[in-house]
Amino acid sequence: MDRISEPPHPTVSTPLTWNEVETCRHASQLVFTADDVLDRVDDHGDLLLDLFEKRVPLP
């Protein structure tokens, strides 16, 4: 069984796009730092903005 090694710096959780989930081949591809999250908001906007208003069918 593969173990996920601990990153050398603190990580944070962040919302993902379905595309990121579908294309991920290893958990290490979805490790983020606080600085990464700010860049993600610039790139993707607030992914939780429409959480309660927009219904999206699960794949």
pLDDT at 1: 55
Give me the phi and psi of 12, to 5 degrees please. Answer: -135, 160
Number of domains in the chain: 1
- Give per-residue pLDDT as tens, 14-58: 999 999 999 999 998 999 999 999 999 999 999 988 888 877 777
Q: Which residues pair with 32 in a beta bridge?
A: 12
| Higher-confidence position of 41 and 7 | 41
39 inside domain: yes
Burial readout 46-57 (b: 16 or more C-beta within 10 A, e: otherwise)? eeeeeeeeeeee
Q: Which two tokens stand for residue 27?
A: 């958990």
pLDDT at 3: 67
3 inside domain: no
pLDDT at 6: 66
For residue 11, is pLDDT > 80? yes
59 inside domain: no
Structural domain boundaries enclosing 41: 11-45
51 inside domain: no
21 inside domain: yes
pLDDT at 2: 63
18 inside domain: yes
Give the C-alpha separation, 16 to 40, whole Å. Answer: 9
